[in-house]
Amino acid sequence: MKAPSVMPHLKPAHINASKDEIAPFVIMPGDPLRAKYIAEKYLTSYKLVSDTRNIFAYTGYYKEKLVTVIASGMGMPSMSIYAFELFYFFDVAKIIRIGTCGALKANMKVPDLVLASKSYTESNFAYSYNGDLTHVSYPSETLNNEIVKTAQKLNLNLTIGDVLCTEQFGFYSDNEHVLKRVPKEIDPIAEEMESFALFHTANSFDRQAATILTVVDSKYNEDFMSIKDREKSLDQMILLALETIG
């Protein structure tokens, strides 16, 4: 699997940073304000290095490790733009996506932590990206193992399993018909909207990527994390990602 060829004169169109302003290790929330929150709370000597389209990117130190925190926006198209630019133009080595998800198992509750073992989508993203007919993409096994070890060190409960990567917000559609079509070998425990594009793009560059998620709602009950908490109160997930990279 190869990354698409692009015209050699192209420069990044969505990240207005110089190459030395982006760290090799990236933490990627979906929400730009969550990126701001992470920088202000966890990083030292940080600075805003990109703000194109209000997708904020901050580079600073977590402990002694230089790290960039940049938002991906929502959905696979947005994720693929930023992941591609980070890998292609800025030579990023690792991206850990930290995001929110809906529970697809009755025993999962708000705010459980999820680590994606693979991502399934009905989308033709892979075919459009580089002609690949697959609908399953995989994270870095090495990076996932590092996350598991870090979770154990921090005494965090982490549920590992398949995720369903959709092209729409589950609660705003009849996602039951999608779930009925999921192949038998896929057993999704949660749904979200970005992981497939991140994993497929990373694999095309032979780089590392992982996705950690926090359950914020469930199809089985009325638990629903507030907008305020989604923006600023996902600290266990944030710390897990930072400690893995740090």
Average pLDDT over residues 80-90: 97
**pLDDT tier at 231 (50, 70, 90 boundaries)?**
low
Say which CATH topology domain 19-245 has: Rossmann fold (3.40.50)
CA 241/CA 244 separation, integer angstroms:
5
Residue ranges covered by each domain of the chain:
19-245
Within 8 A by CB and 6+ apart from 214, the residues are: 98, 99, 100, 101, 111, 112, 113, 114, 225, 234, 236, 237
Tell me the per-residue pLDDT of 178-223, one tens digit each, with 9 for 90 and over: 889 999 999 999 999 999 999 999 999 999 999 999 999 887 887 7
Amino acid residing at 69: V
* Total-model pTM: 0.95
Residue 240 has pLDDT above 70, yes or no: yes
Among the listed residues 162, 174, 217, 235, the single catalytic one is 217
pLDDT confidence of residue 21: 98
Q: Is 162 a catalytic residue?
A: no
pLDDT tens readout for residues 156-186? 999 999 999 999 887 777 778 888 999 999 9
Q: What pLDDT, on the 0 to 100 scale, is given for residue 223?
A: 75
